[in-house]
Structures are given as structure tokens and as C-alpha cells.
Structure 1
Amino acid sequence: MTEFSKSKALMQRGIDFLGCETAILCGAMSWVSERNLVSAISNAGGFGVIACGAMTPDLLDAEITATKTLTDKPFGVNLITMHPNLFELIEVCNKHGVTHIVLAGGIPPKGSVEAIKAFGAKVIVFAPTLALAKKLLRSGGDALVIEGMEAGGHIGPVSTSVLAQEFLPELAEDHVVFVAGGIGRGEAIASYLEMGACGVQLGTRFACASESIAHPNFKKAFFRAKARDAEASVQVDPRLPVIPVRALKNKGTEEFTAKQLEVAQLLNREEVDMGEAQLQIEHYWAGALRRAVIDGDVENGSLMAGQSVGMVKAEEPAAAIITELMQQCEAALSGR
């Protein structure tokens, strides 16, 4: 009997869509989801996704090139819809024959989905509401990720379990849908597969993988943390288009509140417009995250983490994480 036969049977549409062995995607984590972790996850049968974040087209070009030297398995690229060079980044993906592009951070701008599909790549979208999900899928999205507020990084206001109950009965029969947010064990994967999901996306479980370049201090902070330590940021000014971010509480989360006040004052003085204000906020997060992930400054940097962080106990190879998740999922399905 094929290993993980029950799990893979329920994941089959996701496996076919991604072109990998198991329909487990790695969430795109800026500074973390780079060539080493992405290639390790893809080589282990999952689906790695490069986090482009604030990269320039030249940097993304180099990152994709480097990743392709480490794996011959499929992987994707996550692009932020508000990136000022979005269409140039799409062209870089075209140059490299990237097969899957994840559009995150807002509604894709006009022409972006068409530009991706023009060279045959699949488009994966996020949607916080069922109505928007249907619209994005009608407009060319090939697959959907529903991500609950338990996730790390930028989050919406609704829990994964509620989103799954709302979206899956409506969409799962006709569309490829992945579930994300707060998933730390295979038993949860089994439940979402039984509800109709084609696969899942995890970030926090992979952030401390052996192949992750995250600083030892960053990983130790994850090992110490409990679910309640991963808190969502607060929006201090209703005019600011700030998407809440879930991270481990530290001085950096307090500094973000001060940064919002600073940007709000710039708006008051009409020194920036709303678009520039949002970019300043995003650049803050990119810098704060780098301080934690790369420099190991876990006091002042951003420790973006989902509430599943309490299940991250030790550094493990990506392959071991995927195997454990699949074993737990298979055992849960077999015991039904």
C-alpha cells in the first residue's frame, strides 16, 4: 500500500496542481523563505515558496537562480501586490519559467493576473471574504488560500476554523483551495482535507527548520514561546491602511505603534499620501523582520509568528517536519 495513501487521496487535486508529492505549501516568510528553506521543502516533497517581499527585480532574479541550483523540484514565488515594481517582478518569474505565483497583500492590480497567465504560470490568491474569493477565482485565480487570524505575519480578522466552514462548502467542489493559519499538527490537516481542502499552508512550523537561515536567537525565541505570546498588532489611526501583523510581543511591537503615530502625523501635515504611508509601514516591517531573522535582535526586531508557535519545540530538518505532519494526518484519517 502506498505510504500516506488516505492523506494523498484527499490531497490529490492539490498534488496535481502543485506538481509535488504532498500538498503542503510553505507560507512565504520574508527573510526566511529564501533559497535554502524553499529548496529543502521542495526536495522533501512539499512546495517551497520564495518570499519576494521588498526585493528588487535583480534580487529576485538572483534568488530564483540560486534556488534552481539547489532543487529541480517545483517551487513558487510570492509577490506583494502593492510592490511598485510588480510587473517587472512578474517578468523575472517569466524569464525563469516559474510555474506558480502567489499574489498576496491585497487585490491584484489590473493586468497582473493576465500578465502571469500569459506565460502559463498558475496564480494563487488570498481572500478574506467569500465574495472576494469568488471574484478573484472568476477573474483568473487558479487556486485560493484561506488564511485565518491565527497565522503569523499579516492577518485578517477571522479564525481559520470559521473561514474553512464558510468557504469550503461553497468552493471546494469546483476549485483548488488550501487552508492556512494556526496549523501545527497533522490531525488538523486531516480535518481540513475531510472538509474539502486540497492541501494546507504552514509557515511557523518551518521557520525554525534546520535549513532555515533564521538566526539562532530567533529560533530560540520560537522554542520558548507559547500560543498566547503571538499577538496581533493594533491599528492606532483608522486612516492608516494597516493590516494587523501577528508576532511575538517585544519592544519591536511597541515601536510599531510609535511608527504608526509618526506616519499619521506625516498624513496630518500632508507630507505623504495614503499609498506612501502604507509603503512606509511595509518598509518598517521588512526592516524590523530583518533585524530579528538575520541579525538576531529579538528585542527590537519583529518576531512574526503564528499561534502554532507553541508547537515548535526544536530545530528539525524540513523533511522530518513534513514526514511527521503526514504521519499524524494519516493516523487521524485511518482512525476515523
Structure 2
Amino acid sequence: MNTYPKTSALMARGSEFLGSEYAILCGAMSWVSERNLVSAISNGGGFGVIACGAMTPELLDTEIAATRAMTDKPFGVNLITMHPALTDLIGVCARHGVTHVVLAGGIPPKGSVEAIKAFGAKVIVFAPTLALAKKLLRSGADALVIEGMEAGGHIGPVSTSVLAQEFLPELSADHVVFVAGGIGRGEAMAGYLEMGASGVQLGTRFACATESIAHPNFKKAFFRAKARDAEASVQVDPRLPVIPVRALKNKGTAEFTAKQREVAGILDSGEVDMGEAQLQIEHYWAGALRRAVVDGDVENGSLMAGQSVGMVKQEEPVADIIAALMAESEAALSGR
């Protein structure tokens, strides 16, 4: 007997697409979404996604193999579109028979979607506008994530609730669409499912799970934080198109402002082109995030967090988090 019949019915399309019991994806968080958390989420009925981030093909190869040793359930791999070794990373996914690849960080380069579909994997993409979403879906993407500005990490300028109202009526009848950004409880999940979403994606809610390898200092910072503490970074120079990043305010956020000035300076001098300048920014975030997540330097590292961080109060096993989300959603739907 299904414990959550109403919720499961609404997310049936997403669950079938992912091959998981519940259509709950874990957002790919660099240094956090690795073998331990990913396998725990998939084993708990959700869908874990490895955050490739700045990994080399060799490191991704090791991570996929290690994750597969810890779960026999489906999981995905998130690849950054501007990664200089994207083609090789896709090749690693092909060798391992990865079933779902998430392309994030920009418009997929020409041929990348085709290369992923060639080995039978499903392609999940992000789109900040409805026009781009339709174009990517026409171009072969199998599913879409719409992510609002409440999310942690790299964000767009529009809220989740507005994106959902704009995208879901247009796309949900014919396409698999997942909603992300600021979701911390099952009641919100239920609302988006009722609007036509096939499922949801959460990151911040899982960042401090028992199975997360994040440093105790990192987790404590989350437990202390309120929604307003998760601030978006400021763009210093309009010539350097830096995607805003939402993180808990600390010395690291101030250091990023200085880093932007430094990169803008070498861009002006002609030492690097725009592509290299943006890569330097990405490498900064990868290093700053590692300092916080792995080393526990919560003053100078990057504490990427969504505005749902105020709902993260304690360490909990992944299975308990998923069960709570499903129970909250079911109670909300049953009370309609």
C-alpha cells in the first residue's frame, strides 16, 4: 500500500522519468553532493546527483564508480557547461552508463546534448526564460529544472513562485518540469505539484544531512542562519557578466567582491579573454566552497545556501528528510 498516494500520483511522471520512488532530486552542490550524500538520497527513494563542478575526468570517473558501489538505485551527474573538459566528462559518463546528465551553468555547447543522448542518457537542463526553455526542449533536452532566485549557489533574478506560474501552464502538459529554489517543506512541494510540476529539486535541505560530508562548522553555520542571512553576491563591473551567487554573509562574500575587481582589471588589460575571466571566477567559488565545506573555514570560505536555510535546524538522516517532505505534502493535499 502506498503511504503517500496523492503525492505519488502527482509526481508519477517525474518518478518514472528518473526511475526513482519519489520525484525529489538533490541539487548538485560542489564538494557536498558526492558519493555519500548522493547514494543516501537514491537509497532513500529520491534521486541523487553528483556535482562534477571543477573535477577532472579522472576524478569524476572515480566518483561515479564509488557511488555505484554504494547504491544500485539510479543517480545522475551534473556537468558545468563551461568546463574546458566537458567532452571528456561526457565520455566518462558514457563509459559508466550514467542514465541522467544535468547540464548547468549556461546554454549547452553545440553537440553536447547529442553526445549525451547518443549513449542513451536523459538530458536535464536549466532555463531562465520560457523562450530558452522551449528552444532547449525542441533541441533534444528531455526535462527542465526551473530554479528561482531563492536557491543557493548560482542564481537567476526571478523568484521560484513567479517562474512556476510562467513556465508550468505552458510546458507541464507535454514536458517533465522540476521546480527548485527555496523549497524546504512538503507543503510547498505539494503546491508546485498541483500546478503541474513533475517533481522538485532541493539542495539546502539536504546539505546538513547526517550522510553529508560537510564539516561540522559548515553545518553549525546553517543551523544558526535565518532566511535573510543567505544573500546574493553583488556584481561589481557590468563588463564582467558574473552570475550572482547566494551564500551566507561572511568575510568570504566581501573577498569575492575584491576578486571581481581583480579579474575585471586583468580583463581590461587584455591578459585574459572573457571566457578565461569567467573561469577564474568559477575557480574562485570552487576553492572558497571547499574551504567552508571540507576545511570548515566558515569565515573565509563560501557558505552557499538557499533562503530555505532557516528551516534547517539539525542533522537528520536523508531518509528522514525525504519521509518528512512526503508526509507534509500528503497532509497538505489530503486537507484540500
Q: TM-score range by the shorter chain?
A: over 0.9
What is the match of residue 125 of structure 1? Answer: 125
C-alpha displacement of 1:24: 0.1
1:242 aligned counterpart, secondary structure: coil
Return the offset for 1:241: 2.0
User: What is the correspondence of 1:1-336 to structure 2 with a 5 Å cutoff?
Assistant: 1-336=1-336
**Aligned equivalents of 1:265, 1:166: Cα separation in 2:** 39
Partners of 1:111 and 1:269 in 2: CA distance: 33
- Find the aligned partners of 2:50 and 2:109 in 1 and give their Cα distance: 21
Tell me by how many angstroms 1:195 deviates: 0.1
What CA distance in whole angstroms lies between the structure 2 residues aligned with 1:13 and 1:273? Answer: 44
Runs of 4+ in 1 over 3 A off after TM superposition: none
Residue 104 (structure 1) shift: 0.1
Once the two structures are superposed, residues 268-322 of structure 1 have per-residue CA deviations (whole angstroms, 9 ceiling, x without a partner) of 1111100000000000000000000000000000000000000000000000000
**TM-score (ref. length: structure 1):** 1.00
| Residues 183-219 of structure 1: CA deviation (Å, up to 9, x unaligned) | 0000000000000000000000000000000000000
Q: Match of 1:266, as an amino acid?
A: I
Q: Which runs of 5+ in 1 are unaligned?
A: none
Quick one: distance in 1 between partners of 2:153 and 2:273? 24
Alpha-carbon distance in 2 for matches of 1:222, 1:2: 33
Partners of 2:83 and 2:264 in 1: how far apart? 21
CA distance in 1, matches of 2:139, 2:332: 36
Q: 2: CA distance between counterparts of 1:8 and 1:203?
A: 21
Number of residue pairs the alignment of both structures matches: 336
Q: Deviations over 1:12-55 (max 9, x none)?
A: 00000000000000000000000000000000000000000000
Partner SS state of residue 323, structure 1: helix
Residue type of the alignment partner of 2:15? I
SS class of match (1:304): coil
- After superposition, the C-alpha distances for 1:119-175 in whole angstroms (9 at most, x for unaligned) are 000000000000000000000100000000000000000000000000000000000
- CA–CA separation in structure 2 for the residues paired with 1:150 and 1:241: 20
- Distance in 2 of aligned mates of 1:98 and 1:229: 37
Provide the rounded CA distance (Å) in 2 between the counterparts of 1:2 and 1:309: 30
- Cα distance in 2 for partners of 1:102, 1:231 equals 25
CA distance in 1, matches of 2:15, 2:37: 20
The structural deviation recorded for 1:94 is 0.3
Per-residue Cα deviation, 1:216-238 (whole angstroms, up to 9, x for no partner): 00000000000000000000001
Task: Quote the Cα distance in structure 2 between the aligned partners of 1:20 and 1:267.
Answer: 45
User: What SS is found at the alignment partner of 2:196?
Assistant: coil
For the residue of structure 1 that corresponds to 2:231, the secondary structure is strand
* Structure 2 counterpart of 1:43, one-letter code: N
Shift of 1:267: 1.1
Unaligned stretches of 5+ in structure 2?
Answer: none
- SS of the equivalent of 1:303 reads coil
- Distance in 1 (CA, whole Å) between partners of 2:75 and 2:231 is 30
For 2:91 and 2:210, the matched residues in 1 are separated by 32
The separation in 1 between residues aligned to 2:95 and 2:51, in whole angstroms, is 18
SS at match of 1:174: coil
